[in-house]
Structure 1
Amino acid sequence: MNSRVNIDAAAAKRMSLPKPAAMRDTRLDVLRALALIMIFINHVPGQFFEQLTTKNFGFSDGAEAFVLISGISVGLAYGTKFLRGNRLAMMWKAVKRAFTLYTAHMITTFVTLVLFICGAWIFHQKGLLCEVNILALLMDPGRGIPALLTLGHQIGYNNILPMYGALFLMLPLMMLLEARNPLLLLLVSASVWLVSGIYYIAPHTTLLDGFWFLNPLSWQFLFVIGFVATMHVKRGGRILVHPVLIGLASAYVLLSFIWVTDKLWVIGDYLATFGLPTVVTGFDKTFLSLPRLLHVLALAYLIISIPSLSALLRRSANHPLTILGRHSLSIFVAGTILAMAGQVLLYVTNKSPTVGAIYVVIGIAAQFAYAYHLEHKRLQAAGQRPVKAPAAAIAMPVHFGKRR
């Protein structure tokens, strides 16, 4: 029996069987799931659970976490495959992803319109038509519909995907610069962030005077930081873990907690009197001001550097949070639609705290149920794919590394 195993192992080695892919880092899925849940809760304002999300305890919220995680994920999914001979394919894949995000945004936008208009009609609540930037569209549909389609007008709480799609349109250039010199990409990205923040450079809205709520020229810097850090690690580098840096990150997170909970915003106004740009001293979300950026980076560094925190987030592949985060785009679309329905419900019930709390719990449960449905379909599709294996390996399976 032992000789047979040795023979089969030797045969497998001679045939150069590919090693199985590295196990998926479930920490990203878990963090993505937590960010999605917080975004959903924050998008149903006026209920109890909103007070428990991270925006109440620090400068950043689920949106910053989501974009940083996305930059890390893009490094794994796109950057590691951006090799000579495959670059055009990866660029085209990024562009196609941007159009997928555009389609998803259109779905959530028009479903939101239907929900609010039907809510106003069914419940005789005309005030719903004045919510989430709908009134301007209804007052001038001839300009409003084209503005919606060209992203020149965005419905309230439906403004993350346009920014995210714009980041994917920028991704081919990001990958080219990173392949040439990662530091060059960081320098260019930081410069674009700073200049756009100082001079208020952002995509304009066409139906109403203003900017996109989330400026992609600002948010790309956070995305790039995650992307470059991932590529650095994949090339054999490491993130420096040092007690001084851990102490500084912890101190900043604590300062942010005290600042937000004690409402010390007047300090920011005082700092602005020194003539520094608001992108450095303020807390603006549109242009991703420095305090928000540093907060999410400090949290990420602590998760990476403190083993107990990192281990806490590393769940099994079939953990509910892992499954939810694995299907992030579908869950985000479902969560946005559920949140918009929740806003209509809270409006017609005069923001009943009981109704709001119950709805949020049901909404989160529905997203987990939907994630399990998507996972079941994914596993079914994977099971139907033909698996090719050498005869020797079938006769006596030889496992390399850990089972998934």
Structure 2
Amino acid sequence: MTNPLSQVRSTRDTRIDVIRAIALITIFVNHVPGNPFEVLTSKNFGFSDAAEAFVLISGVSAGLAYGLKFRPGARLATALKMWRRVGVLYLAQLGTTMATLGIFSFFALHYGAPELLEKINIGPVMEDTAAALVGIVTFGHQLGYNNILSMYAGVLLLLPALLLIGSRAGLLHMVAASGALWLAAGLFRLGPPNFPNEGVWFLNPLSWQFLFVIGLAATMHVKRGGKLPVHPWMIGTAAAYLVLSLAWVQVPLWGIDTSMGLPSVLTGFDKTYLSGPRLLHVLAAAYLIAVLPQISGLARRPTNNPLAVMGRHALPVFVTGTILSMVAQAWRLVHEPSIATDIAIVAVGIGAHFALAYYIEWYRGLVRGSKSVPAGPEVFMGPPLRPAHHSLPHRAKPEMA
């Protein structure tokens, strides 16, 4: 008899998992700055980096998990599921933050290197601990390399309102509302405030939600029977933009003023407000992957492919990668790094990503298997059952009580 679970799993689009796994590996490598593999990551070949890819693919996944279920009669339940996920992300963010503080504190104490406590925005925690702790629990104070989950949580908080617009007025109106919010945030420098520092979050959810919603809306459109437009001029324009972006980064051409009097959110390269060139770059790459089967087919792997396995368990793998990258950063700050040690750090870190993913896969399979085993008579540990008295026919039998 065919296992229905295997049937469900076989229909999963592994391209999402594979691309997400590649983004996770890339984020880990970039979070250990200075290692020799960093020059091979996507940020060296265009305006956007793995963070944009991760958010876009998260929007695609949200379209499958929440977007198609957000309909009359199920809106509240779907919104509560999203906000429950926000709670999980909140705890994960606090966990990685406290782990990072503990890691850098340990290395500072063990190696007599107090300067470590001034790195990656730890300084305010040491200078004004009470205020910084308030900032940490309210996401107002975020450590360096520990700011993706908080942004993702902020986006999910906004998502029910945007989906409500989409369900009542259509997907185009939802994307338009999201784009208007992105533009307003960039023009007026709006965003969740930092505390106790000045400014807004490094990855501003009011800006990054636009990329997330584009991925979500495209997925919902396709799942409802629509198709992405495929025209030679669109493919050529997207490819040309990627080539221009590559040349811009590699030459480099950062000194050229391209503003033409327009606001920086449209012409700059700011990551906080997800400026236009960064946004267009990740969308151009995603468009080519989606419409060219020669490219998208490369990511269509079997469900047991290592990358597909990793991508299925993105959150625990991401949290583990963040903690390992903080250990690697602190270690490199108190030791003289070498090519050999950097290769070992990256290899061990990526190996841990795969090991954790396979452990979760094995554990969940074990749990599913145990639930499918019927309980035998030897499981009952109570006293022997007595037959019911004939004068009480209306009482439930003991085994049914």
TM-score of the alignment, normalized to the shorter chain, above 0.5: yes
> Is the CA contact 1:346–1:355 (under 8 Å) kept in the aligned structure 2?
no
Moved more, 79-88 or 93-102: 79-88
Q: Which of 74, 78, 100 is the equivalent residue of 1:90?
A: 78
Counterpart position of 2:120: 132
* CA apart distance, 1:351: 3.6
Counterpart position of 1:311: 297
Higher RCO, Cα 8 Å, sep 6+:
1
Equivalent AA in structure 1 for residue 258 of structure 2: L
Counterpart position of 1:152: 140
Aligned with 2:255: secondary structure? helix
- The CA deviation string for residues 36-88 of structure 1, in whole angstroms up to 9 with x for no partner, is 00000000001101111000010010000000000010000111122222111
Counterpart Cα distance in 2 of 1:210 and 1:85: 40
Counterpart position of 1:50: 38
Counterpart Cα distance in 2 of 1:384 and 1:93: 27
Counterpart Cα distance in 2 of 1:330 and 1:362: 17
Counterpart Cα distance in 2 of 1:363 and 1:271: 39
Unaligned runs of 5+ in 2: 375-401
Counterpart position of 2:317: 331
Counterpart Cα distance in 2 of 1:271 and 1:158: 31
Counterpart Cα distance in 1 of 2:12 and 2:349: 27
Equivalent AA in structure 1 for residue 150 of structure 2: P
Structure 2 counterparts to residues 20-35 of structure 1, below 5 A: 21=8, 23-35=11-23
Aligned with 2:33: secondary structure? coil
Identity of matched residues, % = 51
Counterpart Cα distance in 2 of 1:183 and 1:65: 22
Structure 2 counterparts to residues 161-310 of structure 1, below 5 A: 161-180=149-168, 181-267=170-256, 270-272=257-259, 274-310=260-296
Counterpart Cα distance in 2 of 1:149 and 1:252: 41
Q: Tell me if 1:381 matches 2:367.
A: yes
> Is the CA contact 1:193–1:220 (under 8 Å) kept in the aligned structure 2?
yes
* Runs of 4 or more above 6 Å deviation: none
Alignment TM-score, normalising by the size of structure 2: 0.89
Counterpart Cα distance in 1 of 2:368 and 2:227: 34
> Is the CA contact 1:197–1:287 (under 8 Å) kept in the aligned structure 2?
yes
Counterpart Cα distance in 2 of 1:244 and 1:56: 26
Counterpart Cα distance in 2 of 1:220 and 1:378: 32
Structure 2 counterparts to residues 74-89 of structure 1, below 5 A: 74-89=62-77
Equivalent AA in structure 2 for residue 211 of structure 1: V
- The CA deviation string for residues 368-394 of structure 1, in whole angstroms up to 9 with x for no partner, is 111100110121222234499xxxxxx
Counterpart Cα distance in 1 of 2:270 and 2:127: 29
Unaligned runs of 5+ in 1: 1-16, 389-404
Paired residues, number: 369
Equivalent AA in structure 2 for residue 294 of structure 1: L
Equivalent AA in structure 1 for residue 113 of structure 2: Q
State the structure with more CA Rg.
2
- The CA deviation string for residues 270-328 of structure 1, in whole angstroms up to 9 with x for no partner, is 222x2100011110000000000000001111111111111110000000000100000
